[in-house]
Amino acid sequence: MKLLIRGATVIDPAIGRRPHTDILIEDGVITEMADFLPSGDAQILQADGWLCAPGLVDMHVHLRDPGQTHKEDVLSGCRAAAAGGVTAVACMPNTTPAADSPEVITEILQKAEHADARVYPVAAITRSLKGEEQTDFAALKAAGAIAVSDDGRPVPTAGMMQRAMLEARLEGLPILSHSEDLSLTRGGIMNAGEIAQTLGVRGVCRAAEDVAVAREVAIAVAENLPVHICHVSTAGSVAIIRDAKRRGAPVTCETAPHYFSLTEELLMSRDADYRMSPPLRTAADVEAIIEGIKDGTIDAIATDHAPHAAEEKADFETAPNGVIGLETSLAASLTYLVGPGHITLPRLIEMMSTTPAKLLGVRGGRIAVGEPADLVLFDPLAAWTVEPDKLHSKSKNTPYAGRRFTGRVMATVCRGKIVYELGEENV
């Protein structure tokens, strides 16, 4: 099966911008790139006026499969990914049962064989995410896990995290830290401050994140052990990580689009679709996140895609934390980072594709002959409004409902096949 992408402007962090390019794909691999290529017997995807970038690699996704498939499953999550230009997802282990055994990792990979995106399972650091007994990292890696994390529940003690970081390095597995001190969270449901007080609900202080980030950084510095910090949301965390990097510590981190585009004021609506963990913060935190993106402190942008059914999100105070984001991450980033001139488009693609692939140790993030044909084609000028009912995820708990974005995915290619094209029903 051959596919010819005709006339796209290629955006690749390694080469910059290459206009009016034809890309020939055979058997899932890019075989030729030129100003013009004969079509022969290839299927043609006309891409005049579109930008073509390496498919996005989302290193923080909850597919809810196995065990919570009323919210999402592997196939529906990957359909949503494809609609957002995401060709690879790293799925977190807080499933039911937890992804703490080779059997669960194998089950996830089997379900993903015919999905619209590549699926890379992240295995649990501790059994059942209870923070008591470490899992068998070697066995999990042999089954196909590409990283370890207790995301959704922080590793409770510094000693346990130190041992996990050491074992992860020995096995060649990235360790992804959900950095939260639960003794400081204390059941809070939003950022601590005046708005939480006005609403009469318990807040989550910034220190709950900052203290835990500082713990992981201290271990990384003292032992020269690599660690990746998930979903950074506070100015304090950015400052701690920036300082660690200046000292040469092997620390990397990610943030999510909602942390550089939305603030806690939205929770005045008492809409649980604005609740996630860590919570939306203040305008000053948003500014710090953007500055961390601009100066390179923050390495990657991920979604923390966390689907929940409508009935679960119905009550503001008792709803579970989490929002979906696979279908809006590129558009939100184009609108709030590239549009205002905070970063360039190649830098954005680096943060959403090239760097995540490198951090996870998987292929991707490049457009070149011999590379996998995982591509996103998008119109950077197309304006659209987020309508939850038109999203492909089983769950519709987006914090961007009704929001206007500039930049839209027009088509996605994964493994050399077109897995998504914008149709009239999506316009």
* Angle between helices 207-223 and 158-171 in degrees, nearest 10: 50
Q: Which two tokens stand for residue 229?
A: 């910090």
With CA atoms as reference, report the closest residue to 234 among 189, 199, 284, 304.
Answer: 284
List all residues 6 or more positions away from 45 whose beta carbon is below 8 Å from its beta carbon: 3, 4, 5, 6, 377, 411, 413, 418
Bridge partners of residue 190, in order along the sequence: 203
Q: Please indicate whether residue 285 is annotated as part of the active site.
A: no
List all residues 6 or more positions away from 58 whose beta carbon is below 8 Å from its beta carbon: 81, 86, 88, 89, 90, 302, 303, 305, 326, 329, 352, 356
CB atoms within 10 A of CB 236: 18
- End-to-end Cα distance, the chain: 29
Q: Which two tokens stand for residue 294?
A: 């601009």
- Residue 403's alpha-carbon distances to 154, 294, 399, in angstroms, are 32, 24, 9
Give the whole-angstrom CA distance, residue 265 versus residue 283: 9
Whole-number CA gyration radius for the chain: 21
Contact yes or no for 62/304 (Cβ under 8 A): yes
- Residue 392's alpha-carbon distances to 137, 307, 375, in angstroms, are 34, 11, 19
- Mode of pairing for the β-strands spanning 203-204 and 190-191: parallel
Tell the residue number behind the tokens 């402007």, with chain if given: 9
Tell the residue number behind the tokens 């100066």, with chain if given: 295
Which runs of consecutive H residues, i.e. helices, occur in 36-180? 74-83, 102-111, 137-143, 158-171
Spot the catalytic one: 27, 304, 315, 379: 304
Give the whole-angstrom CA distance, residue 146 versus residue 359: 10
Which runs of consecutive H residues, i.e. helices, occur in 148-205? 158-171, 182-185, 194-199
Q: What is the DSSP letter of 187?
A: T
Contact yes or no for 83/392 (Cβ under 8 A): yes
> Could you give the residue numbers annotated as active site?
304
